[in-house]
Amino acid sequence: MHILVLLKMVPDVVEDLEIASDGRALDLDYLRMILSESDDHALEQALLLKERHGGKLTVLALDAPEVDDALYTAAAKGADRLMKVVGMEAGFTTSQAARFFSQVIGDGSGILPVDLILTGVQAIDDLDGLVAPLVADELRMPYLGIITGINMDASGKTARAIKEFPAGVRGEFEIKLPAVLGIQAAEKPPRYVPVAKVRAAMKSIRIESAPLPTLADGGWPVLSILEMKRNEPAGHAEMLEGAPEKVSDRLCGILAERGLF
């Protein structure tokens, strides 16, 4: 069985984000990149499947600051092959990212054939589309998103995927392989791998570079961002200030007024 995981780095929102001088984009110099959280879950799900069914796990990422660390960490966790697409300018959109992925997968980079392609269901910067359905359509594969569990059928030709619906309901779907799945959460939280193992992976595994495919200009629509700014939570909540006891007292007063006691 061969599983491919697609990884994308996104801005780390732990630090305050700064806006670039033109007021239309993030200041890329000022931020750190981190692996998109649901991509991390996709990797974990792939590792769980590999542990269960054996086979090979390939990880394909897009070049970005700190992507190497994410790839080596994937290897330390159990990925067999590491690849990254290189040569693009920073600040590409999600639909461009998806096209980079699908072209590299499709054009003889030695990745195919693959049984399952896993990636995160949605990243925090997916403004102009989602990776999973875009890649699925480009590769002419079935797609399903918001997946929280996968089981391979014995035949190896289909898989059962659990998808989350509202109100805690889940649905079990049968999917013909190969397919692309957008992972919401892995069956277990992403595992911990000690720093020593990541460092060992740095010494023993090589990251293969896949050059950026030249995108045929298909006249893909482009969004124009008119303005970008920090979302200051101004003006909605009335802020109560002071020591915990004072604030609690005031709040109780408010609750009492509203008959909430």
Partner 1 sequence: MTGSICVLAEQWRGQISEVTYETLALGREVADQAGVPLTAILTGSNCRELTRSLGVADSVIYVDHPLLAEVIPQTCTEALVQVLTGARPRALLVPLTNISLGIGTLIGIRMGVPVVNFCNDIKVSDGKLEAHCVMYGGKIEASVEAATQSGGQPAVFGVWPGVRTADKGRAERDVPVTDAAVVLEESQPIRLCKYIEPEAGDVDLTKEQVLVAVGRGIQDRGNLPLAEELAKALGGAVCGSRPVIDQGWLPLSRQVGKSGLTVKPKLYVALGISGAPEHVEGMKDAGLIVAVNSDAGAPIFNVAHYGIVGDVLETLPALTAAVEARKAVAPHA
Partner 2 sequence: MPDALYLWVLTLAAFGLFGRRVYRYIKVLAGARPEKRWDHLGQRFKLVLVQVLGQPRLIEEPLIGLAHLVIFWAFVFFVTSFFWNLVRGLFPFLPIPFADQVPWMRFALEVSGVLGLLALAVAAARRYIFPPDRLEKSRDASIILGLITIVLVSSLAGQWFGWRAMWWVHMVTVLGFLAYLPYSKHLHLLAAPFGVFFGSLERGTVPASSPGAARREEFTWRQLFSGLACAECGRCDRSCPSYQGGFALSPKMLMHHMKELVRGAENGGDGAKFVGEVVKREEIWACTTCLSCMQRCPVMNEHLPVLIEMRRHLVGEGDMDKSLQEALKNLNRYGNSFGAPPRARAKWTQQLDFPVKDARKEPVQYLWFVGDYASYDPRVNAATCAAARVFHMAGLDFGILCEGEQNSGNDVRLAGEEGLYESLQEKNLKALAKARFHEIITTDPHSFQVLKHEYPATNGARTVRHHTQLLSDLVLEAKLPLRKKLKTRVTYHDPCYLGRYNAIFNAPRRVMAALGLELVEMPRNRTYSYCCGAGGGRIWMEDPPVFKERPAVSRVHEASMLDNVRTLVVVCPKDLVMFQDAIKTTGLEDRLEVRELSELVEQAMG
The one of partner 2, partner 1, none whose footprint includes residue 196, by CB under 5 to 8 A per kind, is partner 2
Least Cα distance to 32 among 83, 66, 70 occurs for 66
CA dihedral sign of residues 90, 94, 99, 105: positive
Contact stretch for partner 1 (CB under 8 A) within 64-72, 77-85, 108-116, 133-141: 133-141
Shortest approach of partner 1 to residue 124 CB, angstroms? Answer: 5
Among partner 1, partner 2, none, residue 191 binds (CB under 5-8 Å by kind): partner 2
Q: Which residues 167-196 are close enough to bind partner 2 by CB under 8 A?
A: 189, 191-196
Residue nearer to partner 2 on the CB measure, 74 or 134: 74
Binding of partner 1 by 11 (CB under 8 A): yes
From the list partner 2, partner 1, none, which binds 125 (C-beta under 5 to 8 Å, kind-based)?
A: partner 1
Shortest gap between Cβ of 39 and partner 2 (angstroms)?
A: 15
DSSP H helical ranges for 3-129? 37-53, 67-77, 94-106
Q: What is the dihedral of CA 74, 80, 84, 85, to 10 degrees?
A: -140
Q: Specify the DSSP element, H or E, that contains 195.
A: helix 195-204
Contacts of 228 (CB under 8 A, 6+ apart): 19, 23, 24, 25, 26
Q: Please give the angle made by the CA atoms of 217, 90 and 94, to the nearest 5 degrees.
A: 60
At its nearest, how many Å lie between partner 1 and the CB of residue 216? 13
What residue has token string 């059928």?
153
Give the C-alpha separation, 163 to 102, whole Å.
24
Q: Which residues contact 34 (CB under 8 A, 6 or more apart)?
A: 9, 10, 11, 12, 66
* Spatial CB neighbours of 70, under 8 Å, sequence gap ≥ 6: 7, 9, 35, 61
* Closer residue to partner 1 in complex, CB, 16/29: 16
144: alpha, beta or left? (left if phi > 0; alpha if psi -120 to 50): beta
Residue 14 binds partner 2, judged by CB under 8 A: yes
Taking the complex as a whole, how short is the minimal distance between the CB of residue 175 and partner 2, in angstroms? 30
Given partner 1, partner 2, none, residue 120, with its beta carbon under 5 to 8 Å by kind, binds none
Rule CB under 8 A: say whether 198 interacts with partner 2: yes
Query: Taking CB under 8 A as the rule, does residue 251 contact partner 1?
Result: yes
User: Of 13-21, 105-113, 133-141, 233-241, which part binds partner 2 (CB under 8 A)?
Assistant: 13-21
Instruction: Give the interface size with partner 1 as a residue count (CB under 8 A).
Output: 83
- The site string for partner 1 over 152-191 (x = CB under 8 A, - otherwise) reads --------x-xxxxxxxxxxxxxxx--x--x-xx---x--
33, 11 in Cβ contact below 8 A?
Answer: yes
Residues that bind partner 2 (CB under 8 A): 14-16, 34, 189, 191-199
